[in-house]
C-alpha cells in the first residue's frame, strides 16, 4: 500500500533526525560508545531509505567522530567517501 509505505518513509526520516540529534549530544559529552552506536544506526537508516543526502550527513558525522578520537586512517577513508557525496 502506497500510503503505508510513505508513512514508513516519513517515520524513518524522523527517526534519522532524532538519532542524529542524540548522536550530537553524545559527541559533545564525549560519550564515544553511545555515539558509535548512533552513527551505525544513522548509516543503516540512510541506506534503508536509499537517500544520498542522509548518507552524506551520516558520513560527515563519522568523519568528525574519527577526528575526535584521532583515528587518521578512518578519517581519510571517510573523506574519500564524503568527496563522492559532493
Using pLDDT thresholds of 50, 70 and 90, give the confidence band for residue 59: very high
State residue 68's pLDDT score. 86
Residue 27 in contact with residue 63, Cβ under 8 Å?
no
pLDDT at residue 84 tops 80: no
Per-residue pLDDT reduced to its tens digit, 14-53:
999 999 999 999 999 999 999 999 999 999 999 999 999 9
The pTM for the full model equals: 0.78
What's the pLDDT score for residue 43?
A: 95
Amino acid at each position: 500500500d502506497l500510503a503505508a509505505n510513505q508513512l514508513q518513509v516519513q517515520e524513518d526520516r524522523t527517526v534519522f533526525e532524532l538519532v542524529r540529534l542524540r548522536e550530537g549530544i553524545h559527541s559533545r559529552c564525549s560519550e564515544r560508545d553511545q555515539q558509535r552506536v548512533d552513527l551505525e544506526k544513522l548509516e543503516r537508516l540512510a541506506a534503508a531509505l536509499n537517500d544520498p543526502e542522509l548518507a552524506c550527513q551520516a558520513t560527515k558525522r563519522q568523519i568528525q567522530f574519527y577526528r575526535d578520537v584521532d583515528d587518521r586512517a578512518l578519517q581519510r577513508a571517510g573523506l574519500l567517501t564524503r568527496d563522492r557525496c559532493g
